[in-house]
Amino acid sequence: MTKVGVLASGHGSNFQSIIDAVKSGYLNVSIECLITNNADAFAIERAKAHGITSMAILEKDFRTKDDYYRKITTELQTLGVNLVVLAGFMKLVGKALIEAFPMRIMNIHPALLPSFKGLHAQRQALQYGGKVSGCTVHFVDEGLDTGPIIIQAAVPVLSNDTEDTLSERILKYEHEIYPRAIKLFADGALSFEGRVVKIAE
Ligand code: GRF
């Protein structure tokens, strides 16, 4: 069975959508833990409510970025995690973690990559004047939002959109495609041709 470790920084609505998908039976994985980089993350409450182990591991408590990510890696490995899910983890993940979980770390980004990488993707889409945006689930490599794309959903940008209204519209689709991408991984339906992720029919 796929053992998932979730990393989150804040509200954790994507984390919740994964919990819900497990509870409903859609997703046959076990969520082993939540790790946050923020002791006040609301995601911690969600973990508690569902009996999921949570740990706040703060970068300031470590001498180097490498030490920090080595600690996170060790915790995940100790629990036997084989898929790391970044659910609003607002940090560029360190090398130690990426090397320990090659093509076994997923992220969700609130834009259609490779457009609007990095922070405030919804604001970037509005300012650029794109008429369609959306969300992307991708594997994590060492770049910023550059890893192989697993699933995307397109969402219209309306002329009266604010950052909030667009974010909310995109978030609904995030909650659909993230569990779907994890299910494809857990079912063994994903393979690679170079950087292209193939999905078995
Ligand atoms: C989402 O928009 C996600 O795409 C981005 O950060 C936001 C996290 O939201 N990476 P939540 O914490 O899952 O509610």
Q: What is the pLDDT of residues 123-168, one digit of tens each?
A: 999 999 999 999 999 999 999 999 999 999 999 999 999 999 999 9
For residues 139 and 85, give the distance between their C-alpha atoms in angstroms, rounded to a whole number.
9
pLDDT at residue 70, rounded to an integer: 98
Nearest residue by C-alpha to atom 8 in ligand 1: 88
Fold of the domain spanning 1-101: Rossmann fold (3.40.50)
For residues 132 and 114, give the distance between their C-alpha atoms in angstroms, rounded to a whole number.
13
Predicted confidence band at 198 (pLDDT cuts at 50, 70, 90)? very high
**How far apart are the CA of 179 and the centre of ligand 1, in A?**
14
The answer to whether 1-101 and 107-201 have equal CATH topology is: yes
The three-point CA angle 26-150-99 to 5° equals 105
Ligand 1: which atom is nearest the Cα of residue 90?
A: 10
For residues 49 and 61, give the distance between their C-alpha atoms in angstroms, rounded to a whole number.
27
Q: What is the architecture, at CATH level 2, of domain 107-201?
A: 3-Layer(aba) Sandwich (3.40)
Q: Which residue ranges make up each domain of the chain?
A: 1-101, 107-201
Beta strands 54-56 and 83-86 are: unpaired
pLDDT at residue 135, rounded to an integer: 98
**How far apart are the CA of 64 and the centre of ligand 1, in A?**
26
Predicted confidence band at 173 (pLDDT cuts at 50, 70, 90)? very high
Catalytic residue among 11, 109, 120, 138: 109
pLDDT in tens, 17-75: 999 999 999 999 999 999 999 999 999 999 999 999 999 999 999 999 999 999 999 99
pLDDT at residue 201, rounded to an integer: 77
Q: State the CB neighbour count (10 A cutoff) for residue 27.
A: 23
At which residue do the structure tokens 């084989």 appear?
A: 82
